[in-house]
Amino acid sequence: MTRARLLVIAGLLVVPAWPWPAWAEGGSVTLAQFRQRDQQVENRLLKEFEAATGIRVQQRIMPASTDLQHQQYVTWLAGRDRSVDVYLIDLIWVAEFAAAGWILPLESRLPAEARDGILPAPLASAHYRGKLYAIPRFTESGLLYYRKDLVPTAPATWEELRGLARAKRGREVAGYVFQGKQYEGLVVNFLELLWSAGGEVLAPDGRVLLNGPAGAAALTYLVELVGSGAAPRGVITYMERESLQEFLEGRALFHRNWSYAWSLVHREGSKVRGKVGVAPLPSWDGRRPGVAALGGWHLALSAYSERRDAGWRLIRFLTDTRAQKAKAIGEGRLPTLASLYADPDVLEANPHFAALQQGLAHARHRPITPFYPRLSAVLQTHLSRALVGSSSPQEALDAAAREIATFVARE
């Protein structure tokens, strides 16, 4: 047997069956993210990426709670972990991660025309000190869902909502369900009320304002919602998922959640399909419109990644039109690319998107500062104390403001 022939036979023994796995050539990249709403849609996208690039994607699945994800990410990044290349991050961490040098600026990587297509609010939230550090993957804002079969129109003010919730709740149907557990979601619910009431967390010069009259009114409102029975006591244990579940089971009249909940309400088999209306969050005083928080998640490249180019290719792939369209149709996720709000397939699957785009433009970002996660942790503790009745709203906010002032002053 000739040498060449021997080599061919040897080759046949080790070469795996056709098709040769594409990733064998392109190496691999690791993506940390929470379990996606429809993991099949996600896996299909990742397979397409692997086939197109030859780069294999490993996923690290994170817990659903944003705070638990944050803890894990901080542990990895502070430890200069090299095993994760791309992180799906909550937009509230951009400033902290960028200031710490944990994620790379992406200025030079994203072509200007690609930037122009991104909605202004999510794009702004991906910047820190004028530089782009992440690419928005999907966006969301707070909305009010209501049972239009039981309450014909959405309440115009928060006061009206509380009155209706109390008057119309029944033995089987609670009034208003929101996110009242001690975590970021509770802070979001409080901030939306605070902003609607004309308040602010911090003054431009860094003074802490959240314990002013608007803050006290907002927290008193939340506490009284629970105290008066307008919201069931269970809300103090609810995150997004639990509160939505109550609403989907038909056990609540009103529900605050992010925009993604709409597609779940309308899903086949939903007990409340066809019975739900959606509206902007109510106004505080009937004059100024209510204020919704801006939510959403971005993809960022770890400063400790040894596969930066491969990581960047994955970020581009997952944030481009094709992938965002798949997520919008398959999961009801709001795209961050303006063009998709006029895409006929996206609109057919989500006729409400056109209206939501408006709300997004007015949604407010939580304070953009590297210490936001600390500020939020302090608020979470004190808001929760007020909700369970261990301190009055004013005491809780004063205590939070004192603690926050100690680290704001040091920044």
Contact between 96 and ligand GLC by CB under 6 A: the answer reads no
- Please give the residues from 336 up to 365 whose contact with ligand GLC meets the rule CB under 6 A: none
Using CB under 6 A as the binding criterion, the count of chain residues that bind ligand GLC stands at: 13
Q: Helices (DSSP H) in 169-255: which residue ranges? A: 184-196, 213-227, 240-248
Pairing relationship of beta strands 131-132 and 276-279 according to DSSP bridges: unpaired
User: Binder to ligand GLC among 122, 142, 280, 296 (CB under 6 A)?
Assistant: 296
Q: Which residues of 233-253 are buried (b: 16+ CB within 10 A; e: fewer)?
A: eebbebbbeebbebbbebbbb
Contact between 331 and ligand GLC by CB under 6 A: the answer reads no
Contact between 92 and ligand GLC by CB under 6 A: the answer reads yes
DSSP assignment string, 113-178: HHHHTB-HHHHHHTEETTEE--EEEEEEEEEEEEETTTSSS--SBHHHHHHHHHHH--SS-EEEE-
- Using CA atoms, how far residue 22 sits from 95, 277, 392, in Å, is 36, 47, 61
User: Binder to ligand GLC among 29, 45, 84, 91 (CB under 6 A)?
Assistant: 91
Pairing relationship of beta strands 131-132 and 127-128 according to DSSP bridges: antiparallel
Judged by beta carbon, residue 53 or residue 179, the one nearer ligand GLC is 179
Residue 256's contacts (CB-CB under 8 Å, 6 or more residues apart) are: 142, 143, 144, 145, 176, 177, 178, 179, 189, 192, 243, 281
Contact between 142 and ligand GLC by CB under 6 A: the answer reads no
CA distance 183 to 161: 24
Q: How many other C-beta atoms lie within 10 A of the C-beta of residue 102?
A: 23
CA distance 21 to 157: 58
Contact between 175 and ligand GLC by CB under 6 A: the answer reads no
Span of 84-92, 93-101, 248-256, 400-408 interacting with ligand GLC by CB under 6 A: 84-92
User: Binder to ligand GLC among 50, 140, 192, 343 (CB under 6 A)?
Assistant: 140
Judged by beta carbon, residue 185 or residue 215, the one nearer ligand GLC is 185
User: Binder to ligand GLC among 93, 145, 258, 304 (CB under 6 A)?
Assistant: 258
For ligand GLC, the nearest residue by Cβ is 295
Span of 40-48, 141-149, 226-234, 294-302 interacting with ligand GLC by CB under 6 A: 294-302
Extended strands (E) in 46-85: 56-62
Contact between 295 and ligand GLC by CB under 6 A: the answer reads yes
- Please give the residues from 238 up to 257 whose contact with ligand GLC meets the rule CB under 6 A: 240
- Using CA atoms, how far residue 42 sits from 2, 35, 54, 136, in Å, is 49, 9, 17, 16
Residue 163's contacts (CB-CB under 8 Å, 6 or more residues apart) are: 155
The residue type of 132 is L
The DSSP H or E segment spanning 362 is helix 353-362
Contact between 188 and ligand GLC by CB under 6 A: the answer reads yes
Judged by beta carbon, residue 280 or residue 295, the one nearer ligand GLC is 295
Cβ atoms of 354 and 368 within 8 Å: the answer is no
Shortest distance (Å) from residue 285 CB to ligand GLC = 26
Judged by beta carbon, residue 221 or residue 258, the one nearer ligand GLC is 258
Judged by beta carbon, residue 240 or residue 246, the one nearer ligand GLC is 240
Contact between 141 and ligand GLC by CB under 6 A: the answer reads no
User: Binder to ligand GLC among 142, 155, 180, 185 (CB under 6 A)?
Assistant: 185
Contact between 184 and ligand GLC by CB under 6 A: the answer reads yes
Shortest distance (Å) from residue 210 CB to ligand GLC = 17
CB-side neighbour CA atoms (13 Å) of 59: 15
Shortest distance (Å) from residue 139 CB to ligand GLC = 8
Shortest distance (Å) from residue 294 CB to ligand GLC = 7
Span of 100-108, 204-212, 292-300, 302-310 interacting with ligand GLC by CB under 6 A: 292-300
Interface with ligand GLC by CB under 6 A: which residues?
A: 66, 90-92, 140, 184-185, 188, 240, 258, 295-297
